Amino acid sequence: MVELFSYAFMQRAFLAGLGVSVTCAILGVFLVLRRDAMIGHGLAHVTFGGVALGMVLNMAPMPVALGVAILSALGILKLKERAELYGDTAIGIISSLGMALGIFLVSLAGGFNLDLFGYLFGNVLAIDPGEVWVAFLLALAVLATVAFFYQEFLFLTFDSESARASGVRVGRLDSLMAVLTAVTVVVGMKVVGILLISALLVIPAAAALQVARNFKGAMALSAGLAVVSAGVGLISAFYLDWPPSGTIVLVSGVLFLILFASRQWVKRLGGPGSSQP
């Protein structure tokens, strides 16, 4: 096992993989409970458009994708508010437009190339040192922001009306949450890819919520499950030559099933939470 960490590319993969997974897992608890789980999926589609735009403009794809994803996240909020649409409808509109833009631009540029596939499916083992640091620092910034606004996010996730009546600026915090999600999606695209990043935002959080007794416990468990998923995924990639992104997500899926089954088992025995449907 020690030899695994003697390779610089594996050190980078672990740094980026764990950073992104934990960030997704923490943010995911809020998103799942706010019934915004699909916003990650939608923003991932938009990010594809952003990456394609960067490539066509011959610019670094990550900053362009970041700008496009942030604008789209705020656009989804505005569309919900101004057009009085349900959240999933707004996400559906923006994400499909982003994907369509990507396909259009890729077609103009003469078709898919290897780089674009790297963004779609992730390539954490090939991540370069500069990308690792960008990903790691952005993930750290997201986590620090969530920690800083923890009480506000918890209150508005639980009961936005009471939060508003306590002077919490709900609109601004909704925008902040959307921006943090956009940043996380873009940071995660090199690790698990655009197509699978939303899984990391949803599955560990949903698994933790099967058994969590309090909010801090839910976040800690979600982060722990993400670490196990990323760790097992990367180790399998090294020793068994399995695809890391797919393996990370599949492991998180297995962990979800284990926690789901254990909760059903506890319910049958009449333990804590057994009264829940």
Partner 1 sequence: MNPKDALLSVENISFRYNGLQVIQDVSFAVFPGDFLALIGPNGSGKTTLIRIILGILKPTRGRVVFMGEEMGHFSQWQRVGYVPQKATHKDPHFPASVREVVAMGLLSRKRFPRFLNRRDEASIDRALELVDMKDLQDRRIGELSGGQQQRAFIARAIVNRPNALFLDEPTAGVDAETQARFYDMLAGLNQKEGLTIVLITHDIGVITKHVNKVACLNQRLFFHGSHDEFCSSSIVQQLLQGEHHLVCHRH
Minimum distance, C-beta of residue 167 to partner 1, in the bound complex (Å)? 3
Cα end-to-end distance, the chain, whole Å = 43
Minimum distance, C-beta of residue 269 to partner 1, in the bound complex (Å)? 16
Contact 42, 33 (CB under 8 A): no
Footprint of partner 1 on 184-223 (CB under 8 A): 209, 212-218
Is residue 164 at the binding interface for partner 1, with CB under 8 A as the rule?
yes
Residue 98: name the closest of 37, 177, 186 by CA: 186
Contact 197, 25 (CB under 8 A): no
Q: How many residues bind partner 1 (CB under 8 A)?
A: 30
Is residue 167 at the binding interface for partner 1, with CB under 8 A as the rule?
yes
What letter would DSSP give residue 5? G
Provide, for the chain, the percentages of residues in helix, strand and coil under a 3-state DSSP scheme, each rounded to the nearest 5. Answer: 80, 0, 20
Is residue 260 at the binding interface for partner 1, with CB under 8 A as the rule?
no
Copy the structure tokens of residue 68: 């496009």
Is residue 163 at the binding interface for partner 1, with CB under 8 A as the rule?
yes
Residue from 89, 107, 113, 162 that binds partner 1 (CB under 8 A)? 162
Residue written as tokens 């009449």? 270
Is residue 115 at the binding interface for partner 1, with CB under 8 A as the rule?
no
- How far is C-alpha 127 from the chain's CA centre? 18
Alpha-carbon dihedral sign for residues 68, 70, 76, 79: negative
- Length of the chain equals 277
- How far is C-alpha 54 from the chain's CA centre? 21
Taking the least distance from each CB to partner 1, the nearer of 111 and 167 is 167
Is residue 151 at the binding interface for partner 1, with CB under 8 A as the rule?
yes
Is residue 158 at the binding interface for partner 1, with CB under 8 A as the rule?
yes
x/- binding map, residues 31-60, to partner 1, per CB under 8 A? --x---------------------------
**DSSP secondary structure, 174-215, as one string:** HHHHHHHHHHHHHHHTTTT-TTTHHHHHHHHHHHHHHH-SSH
Is residue 168 at the binding interface for partner 1, with CB under 8 A as the rule?
yes
- Rounded Cα distance between 73 and 183, Å, is 10
Instruction: Tell me if residue 77 falls in helix, strand or coil.
Output: helix
Taking the least distance from each CB to partner 1, the nearer of 129 and 272 is 272
Angle at 157 between CA 95 and CA 195, to 5 degrees: 30
Residue from 5, 148, 239, 265 that binds partner 1 (CB under 8 A)? 148
Minimum distance, C-beta of residue 218 to partner 1, in the bound complex (Å)? 4
Footprint of partner 1 on 236-255 (CB under 8 A): none
Applying CB under 8 A, which part among 6-14, 51-59, 138-146, 267-275 lies near partner 1? 267-275
Applying CB under 8 A, which part among 67-75, 94-102, 104-112, 162-170 lies near partner 1? 162-170
Minimum distance, C-beta of residue 152 to partner 1, in the bound complex (Å)? 7
- Chain positions contacting partner 1, by CB under 8 A: 33, 148, 150-152, 154-155, 158-159, 161-168, 209, 212-218, 272-273, 275-277
